[in-house]
Structure formats: C-alpha cells, structure tokens
Chain A
Amino acid sequence: MIKAIIEKDQYFDSVFLMLINSNVKELDGVKNAVVSMGTEMNIELLKDMGYATEDILQSTANDLLMVIEAENEEIIEAAVATVSDLLNKKKKKSSGKAYQPKSLQSAVKDDPDANMVIISLPGDFAAREAKSALNNGLNVMMFSDNVSVESEIELKELAWKKGLLMMGPDCGTAIINGYPLCFANVVSPGDIGVVAASGTGLQEVTSCIDTFGGGITQGIGTGGRDLKEPRIGGKMMLMGIEALKQDPKTKVIVVISKPPAQDVADTVLLALEKTGKPSVVHFIGQAPEKNRNNLNFAGNLEETAKIAVALSKDETYASTVFTIPQSEVQSIIERESQKISTDQKYLRGLYTGGTVADEAMILLEQITGPVYSNNQKKKELQLSDPFKSVGHTIVDLGDDIYTVGRPHPMIDPSTREERINIEADDNEMAVLLIDVVLGYGSHSDPAGAIIKSLKAARDKAKARGGYLPVIASVIGTKKDFQGYEATVATLESAGCVVMPSNYQASMLAVEIIKKGGTL
C-alpha cells in the first residue's frame, strides 16, 4: 500500500532529505520511499513512479512531499514516524538559536560586516542568489552545480566588474584566511597561495603541502568550467592570480586545473609570469612543460605540492616517485603481488574524488594501456554500463550518474560500499585502488564505513584462491576532525596499504600488477 503526505510550507534542503530518504528505505518492510520538496522535477519523478496524486500535482517547491510504499499500514506509520522524528530534530536544532534571517537581504542587514556568501541551493535558484550577493558587494562561493554556462558567464562578468570572488558554480573547496570552506582540510598557515579549478585537486595539493611541512595563505576555487570554457576565459583564475600577486603574505603561487583551452592557458601563464612570484603550474593529465622564468611545471598533484614547498622554503626540488624508502616499497610490492592468482588481471579504482580519479586514470593509461572510466574523454573507453567495470577501470563515484537521489559519496559512503561489494565478485580484479577524503564536509568516518566491504572483498578473493591488494591514499591532514592516523589505522586493520598520496598509491598499484605478472 501507498501513503502520500504533504506538509505545506516546510522547506528542507535536498541533501538533508536524501539522507532521510536512505534512512527510511532501509526500514524493514518499506518497499519504496520518497521524501522531497515539491519542485517540478520531483513531481515529474513521482509521476514516473506512479505516485502523483492530485494533491502532489498541486504542490509547490515550498511543500514537503512524503510518499511511502510498504507492506502494511503499521510499517507505513513507523516510516512516517521516523521521518517526522528526523525532521523535528532538525527543526528543534534551529528553534533554539537566535533569530535566523530568511533572506539574503535581511542577513546582510543583520550582519553588515559579512564578506562571503556560500551558496549550496538548487541550481535554478543558486544563480539568482549569487547575483544578488555580488550586487551587495559580497564575495561568493557557489557549491551548487546544474548552473548554466550562460549564468556562470553573467555572474563572473559581474564579479570581474566589481572586483569580487565568484568561486564556482560547482566549487566544493576553498580555504580563505586559513579557514576551510565546504569540503576542505585543516591546513597549516604559510606562504603558498593556490588557485584551483578542481575541488579534490585543491584538497590533495593543500593536504600534501601540509604533509611536506609547508603552509597555505589562500586556497581559491574557480569551478571546473573557468578555464575550459573559452567564453569564461579563466576570469576567476586570473582574478585569483592577481589577488595572490597583491597579497603580501603569499610568496608562492600554485595553479591547478584540468587541461584548459589553449588561449586560456596562454593567458593564465602570462598572468602568472607577470606576478613575478615563484609559481607552480599543474594541468592535470598534461605532461609538464619546460620551466621558464618564475614558472615551474609539475607532473602530478603531489609533485605540485612538493615543488611549492621547496620554493616556499628556498630549497631545491628533487623528483622521486616514492617518499618511503625504496626497500620498503619493494617489500610491499613483493608481499602484495605474491598471492595474486592468474585470473586476476585488472586494476579497479573506486574513487570519491573526481580529480584524483582522473589523475589515477591518466597515470595508469600511460603504463597499463587503455583504462575504462565514466570520466574518459575517449569515447571507446567510456563505460557502456557505468555500473559494471571492464578491463582496467577507474570509476568516479561522485559523477551524477551514481548520485541520483543520494548525496555525494564523500558524504554518504554507501554508494562506494555497494560498488565494492559488486566488484568483489569479479575474479578478474587484481588490485583495488581507493581514495579516502578527510576534512570538513566529508563523512565522519569514511574509512570505517567501507572496511567491512573491503574485508569481505579480500576474503572472497582468498576463497577463490587468489589475493586482493587494496591500495589506498588518504587525502587530509593530521588536523582534520576525522583523525588522519586513526583513518590510516582503520584501513590497515582491513589489510589495506596506505600511501601518502594518490600519485604514490596509483604508482604502487601499477608496480604490484606488473610484479603479479598480469601486465
């Protein structure tokens, strides 16, 4: 039986509702549950599912919709009670607080010293509020995606005119004045300023900088399209570079991006040269150019951090693959490759961070040959069924195809847990490569949430007469609230090998496959 409940004028954000959704679906006897706001899109979805009653069709984006399908009345009532409970907790939390403004205008009035607006609203509304924020003279960090290129152009032109940051859309990471915003790590203060067109790229580089003893002034995000889309032309990247140039605390400037449009790359590099400050550039997946003037080119994210720290400390940089002693590396490779069976041929990477997934994919491709991925640019290497790995496969589980109706896997690890369980039954898997992202925004125990499935996968391989090496890298610092060491210990307790960076983890995985004789 099906029950539909509509609560008028009760707005909740969608990520919160998605978490409720997954909680309710897990209840025994619940066949299906939808808890969402009455937006046009959600109503369409309910229609497709055959749940759209007359009342639901009449509801608005301010109305909370709850549809539960279960075996009997009792289960439905229990499910409704669970939902109400979770909603009430949220309401209670805000009712204890001092007055919370209900619009940007009144927030600005209440706090005239505000200088940054973080926007994680649904895409349709995000651009509208961002425009209003910029017009109020406020810097913007826009976490929201699903914002059109046209809107992004308009917003960035406005920000350009007003001399304001317009980070994003789809900007998940920034560090401003030492404070991590949204998905970011607690990094030591220092003299390195970063502008990045990639969220996990920024997380990986700033975390590595911290690990190598350096520190950060600012970490500015631009959103992924800033350099890729010629009509945007790297506007925010250029403004970020200029701001870091003028910032007396910034000694070294780091620029990270996926390969930009050529014109844009030229403009950005020229601007960087003009700063006169020692700079590091890494275009992910692009071979480093020859260093010139103050520009240093890095070949991977970790190296980007290494060079930046060397410049910051006036040291020289020497290129190495592994930062742990070579003998130790050799013994790990020995140990992990020994028991791999002959059936086990392929590397599988299950990532929550998009940029680190790309980094692994591109690195591996140069060594192992074709790598399939949902992030592949090469058409023939795109996964025909994104839920099924073939050959060497690197999956970015943060992709929209995997997150329909559920939060990003950095928040909700169950997406990856499920994928590990599927992958575990594939006897062709030779090495499993994963990232574990710490920091604000991420799950409180991302390692703990997947070790059960990692152990099970290793046990299954063993039962088949083989062995499954799991190579992990933890993106984060010792100051992150999840605990860096505790995370490493958790992973190691499940038999994982934990490497200091994604680059080293990827390289180790390759070495193990080579040694295991399957390459």
Chain B
Amino acid sequence: MNVGKITSLFENDLNVINMGLESFSETLEEQGVQSTHVLWSPPAGGNAKLIDALDFLNSRKEGIDKANEKALEIIQKGKPEIVDIQIAIDVIPGMTAKTVLHAGPPVTWDNMCGPMKGAVIGGLIFEGLAASRVEAEKMAASGEIFFDPCHHHSTVGPMAGIVTASMPVWVMKNGVYGNSAYATLNEGLGKVLRYGAFSEEVITKLHWMKDELAPILKKALDLHGPVDMKNLIAQVLQMGDEGHNRNRAGTSLFIREMAPHLVMLDENRETLAEVFNFMHLNDHFFLNLTMPACKCIIDAARDIKNSSLIVTQARNGTEYGIQVSGLGDQWFTGPASKVDGLYLPGYTADDAGLDIGDSTITETVGIGGFAMAAAPAIVKFVGGTPEDAMKFTLDMYEITLGENNIFQIPSLDFRGTPTGIDLLKIAETGIYPVINTGIAHKDPGVGMVGAGLVKPPVNCFDEALIKFTETFK
C-alpha cells in the first residue's frame, strides 16, 4: 500500500489551502500554520451544463494542454517589427476601393452604433465617395459598400476602427512566423474619426496625415530600419505604460527612436516640427503600434487544433466578440457592455456609447488591462485606485496560460505579465478578461467623452465553451 504522500505530510510542515469557510483558515493562521484561503466561487456560475462541459474537457486535458503549450510558445517567440508604412489598398489583403473595415465582429450598417456610423461617414467623405453626411449615409445603406471586420484582414483599429482604401497604414511583420498585421496611424485626441467625428477638421487632418505625416515617417523608418516592437513594449511597461490606455512612455520612446532619422530628412523645418508636434501632443500615438504588434503576435497562434487560447477579443459598439484558436474563424458574440468610467468635463454616463474597438487585442498577449499593475497612473484615466490596478493584473494570472517571457512588471518583482487568455480557465473561475477602454459619445460626430473599465458579456464565453467541447465529439 502506497502512503508516501501521507508520511511525507507527517514529516513536513503542514501547509494548507482552504476552500470554503474562511474561519478554518484563520484558526490555522492563528496557530502559525501557513494557510492560503481561496476566494472561491462556483465554476461557470454554477451552470450545470457548462460544468459538465468543463469536466468532459478535463478528460481531454492532455491534448488541450499540449495545444495550449504550443500556442503560448508562439506568443512568446513572436517578434513583431515595424517594417513600413503603406497605403491600405496596396497592402491589406482583400482591400478594395469600396471596402470599409471596422472594429469588432461583423456588423451591418443598420446595426452599427452611433460612433461607428459617424466614422463610416467620415471615411466615405475622406475617400471622396461622398460629399456630405446625407450622401455618405445613403451610400452606406445602398449595399454598394463592403463592410468587413478589420480582423478578417490582418488589421486592427481602435474604437470604431474604420479603415478605408487610401488611408496610410503601419505594416508590422512577425520576424519569426512571417505573418503581417496592419493599423492606421493614430489621429490624436478630441474630435477624431475613430470616436465617430467627421467634421471638416477631422477630414482635413486625415488628409494631412496621408499627404505629409505618413510619407515623412516612412522615409525616417527606411533610414532607421525595422523597429523591434517587442523590445519597445517591454521597455514601456517598465516606464509606467500598459500599452493600451496609457501610451505616454511608448509615444516618447518612439519619438526618441525616430528623431535622429527625422532630422536627417530633406524636409523643411516647419513640416518636421509639425510631425514632431503631432506625435508629441498625442499620447496615444503609440497605441496604433502596440495594437498591430499584438495582432501580429497572436495571429501566428490561430487555428491550433485543441487550443483554447482566445486569439481575438473585439467590440464594434453593438457586440463584443471573441475567437478561439481551436475554433477557427468563428465569432462568439454578446451584446456590447456599458463602460463604467470617468467622464470628460461636460459629459455624463448618459452620453456614453457602448464598448467599442479592436484595442482589446493588446490584452490577448499580456499587456493593456492585463498589465495594469505596471501602470498605476492609469487609474487617473479609467478610475479606481493603484491597488485596484494591481489586483486586476493578479486576477488575470488566474485565466491565462502563462507568464510573458519579455513583458515584465517591476512592482511584481519583474514577474512576466499574465499572457494567453484561456477560455477554459475563464469558465472554471468565472473571472473575465479585464478591459480598460475609452468611451465614445453615443451619437455620430461628437467624439470621446471618457474612459473606464468594462466587463465583457458572459454568454459568448459560454457558447464558445460548448462549441469547443463539440470539436472533441
């Protein structure tokens, strides 16, 4: 009879994990026994069908673990580099003159939220396909325009995420796996297209970005050579950014990277100053680099059989959706949530649109909300206390496959960030990905009104879990 673990218990210090009545743990602590109390809650919200699914999947644990190990390895090894700036139609796969890419899972014009409609209007005006709001709306409704998620085209877009044919885009390449990803250049804060604004100043700025900013940055980039984004992100996490809603360090670092090359260009000083100033005045300039970098990393981990890794979480202002590595291109969606946040002066929760944008791609590779502990100052933007920021990150270790080998959090003794969101762990613990996000005005044409935290809809995870189970049967 084997009683090895029992006799070894007798020979070692008692060290307890307690699940249930907390007093059992407290009395042990009083006696000086090491005891960890688990803040337990029923798995899958106590839903019997989901628990059965989890138990079934547990019997396939070996295969799933193996697939997930592979997925995590791909994330860890991924090496996104900024290699170029190009015009969307020239590089984005499947892009046409009348294609409009948008954030989140698929959505029809009729079902689009206010800010997304506003951005579509702005995009069509920018392309010269429409001259006014009325014309743009008519065209959008006519069926002439092909609407498709950015995610279907290796692209990501913050907030409304509108990408049209002649917009300049960053070209990111994964040096290890060879795949590419794209995103537009960030327009700044205030009245901007991604928040649904489409006034003349918005369109004028987009043209300036296309005609002046992008070509100049492209030339500087040519001089610099590929920029290692993984390295930059690792650095910004140690400078108080989390790479999603705080990008001040990242933007500064990027300017520092580009400056010596920008000043060598054969451009007049006023134009260069404008370029510098544009980046300098927009803390979020770096966001449109972290997003495609993350997309570039995680796309390499798609379509791994038996892997429960979440490879996309994205919102279009109407719905939130996820995709799972082992479930191909299928979206699992639920209604977009209300954001719980802080508002800019003059705005209230009544003005808020629902959760929107592809920027939650950052959380899929262990930055953004998952790295909030690295960016305590973020709470000034999204609400809460620095202690909350720490807890958010610690919670995310419960639902991730591992810890990042490059992205680290100084205050956690350089522990790697929680990386690789696991569908099964979400179901098991009832802990959902923490999302911090900007808030757009609910009506087209207004812009940003605040920022905050949001809880994703639960049903899409439940549905994905059931579907994942079916792939084994």
Q: How many residues of A contact B (CB 8 A)?
A: 70
Interface flag for A80 (CB, 8 Å) = no
Contact of A179 among B3, B33, B395 (CB under 8 A): B33
For chain B, the bracket of interface size reads: 35 or more
- CB <8 Å contact, B13 and A144: no
Instruction: Tell me the complex Cα distance, A240–B5, Å.
Output: 12
- CB <8 Å contact, B1 and A176: no
Interface flag for B394 (CB, 8 Å) = yes
- CB <8 Å contact, A113 and B15: yes
- CB <8 Å contact, B20 and A13: yes
**Beta-carbon nearest neighbor of B22 in chain A:** A13
Known A-B contacts A62-B41, A62-B46; A106 and B398 likewise in contact (beta carbons under 8 Å):
yes
**Beta-carbon nearest neighbor of B40 in chain A:** A121
Instruction: Tell me the complex Cα distance, A38–B40, Å.
Output: 15
Cβ contacts under 8 Å, A125 to chain B: 42-43
- CB <8 Å contact, A246 and B7: yes
A100-129 to B contact mask, C-beta < 8 Å, 1/0 = 111111111111011111111110011011
- CB <8 Å contact, A118 and B398: no
- CB <8 Å contact, B14 and A111: no
Which residue among B12, B15, B25, B395 has the maximum number of chain A CB atoms within 10 Å of its CB? B15
**Beta-carbon nearest neighbor of B1 in chain A:** A242
Cβ contacts under 8 Å, B24 to chain A: 118, 120, 143, 181-182, 441
**Beta-carbon nearest neighbor of A184 in chain B:** B27
- CB <8 Å contact, A108 and B5: no
Contact of A101 among B1, B9, B39 (CB under 8 A): B39
Interface flag for A60 (CB, 8 Å) = yes
- CB <8 Å contact, A60 and B46: yes
- CB <8 Å contact, A102 and B39: yes
Cβ contacts under 8 Å, B34 to chain A: 111, 113-114
Q: How many A-B residue pairs have CB under 8 A?
A: 189
Interface flag for B273 (CB, 8 Å) = no
Interface flag for A86 (CB, 8 Å) = no
A11-41 to B contact mask, C-beta < 8 Å, 1/0 = 1010110000000000000000000011110
Interface flag for A364 (CB, 8 Å) = no
- CB <8 Å contact, B19 and A179: no
Cβ contacts under 8 Å, B429 to chain A: 102-103
Cβ contacts under 8 Å, A163 to chain B: 2-6
- CB <8 Å contact, A102 and B38: yes
Interface flag for A238 (CB, 8 Å) = yes
**Beta-carbon nearest neighbor of A182 in chain B:** B24
Say how far B26's CB is from chain A's closest CB, in angstroms: 9
Instruction: Tell me the complex Cα distance, A182–B430, Å.
Output: 27
Q: Is the interface of A mostly helix, strand, loop or mixed?
A: mixed
Cβ contacts under 8 Å, B428 to chain A: 103, 105
- CB <8 Å contact, B21 and A120: yes
Cβ contacts under 8 Å, A249 to chain B: 10
Known A-B contacts A60-B47, A113-B15, A242-B1; A176 and B9 likewise in contact (beta carbons under 8 Å):
yes
Cβ contacts under 8 Å, B2 to chain A: 160-163
Known A-B contacts A128-B51, A179-B14; A102 and B40 likewise in contact (beta carbons under 8 Å):
yes
- CB <8 Å contact, A177 and B21: no
Interface flag for A356 (CB, 8 Å) = no
Instruction: Tell me the complex Cα distance, A163–B10, Å.
Output: 13
- CB <8 Å contact, A243 and B6: yes
Instruction: Tell me the complex Cα distance, A108–B18, Å.
Output: 11
Instruction: Tell me the complex Cα distance, A480–B246, Å.
Output: 54
Contact of A177 among B3, B14, B55 (CB under 8 A): B14
Instruction: Tell me the complex Cα distance, A37–B46, Å.
Output: 10
Say how far B398's CB is from chain A's closest CB, in angstroms: 5
| B residues 394-410 touching A (CB-CB < 8 Å) | 394-395, 397-398
A236-257 to B contact mask, C-beta < 8 Å, 1/0 = 0011101100110100000000
Instruction: Tell me the complex Cα distance, A9–B13, Å.
Output: 36
- CB <8 Å contact, A120 and B39: no
- CB <8 Å contact, A162 and B5: yes
Say how far B37's CB is from chain A's closest CB, in angstroms: 6
- CB <8 Å contact, A111 and B5: no
Interface flag for B31 (CB, 8 Å) = yes
| B residues 32-89 touching A (CB-CB < 8 Å) | 33-34, 36-43, 45-47, 51, 55
Which residue among B16, B25, B43, B430 has the maximum number of chain A CB atoms within 10 Å of its CB? B16
- CB <8 Å contact, B17 and A61: no
4 more A-B contacts (CB under 8 A) besides A40-B46, A113-B34, A238-B1?
A: A102-B41, A102-B429, A111-B15, A115-B5
A residues within 8 Å of B by Cβ?
A: 9, 11, 13, 15-16, 37-40, 60-62, 94, 99-111, 113-122, 125-126, 128-129, 133, 137-139, 143-144, 160-165, 176-177, 179-182, 217-218, 238-240, 242-243, 246-247, 249, 440-441
User: Can you report 12 A-B residue pairs in the complex whose CB atoms are below 8 A from each other?
Assistant: A40-B46, A99-B390, A102-B395, A104-B19, A115-B15, A117-B18, A128-B43, A163-B5, A163-B6, A164-B5, A177-B9, A239-B3
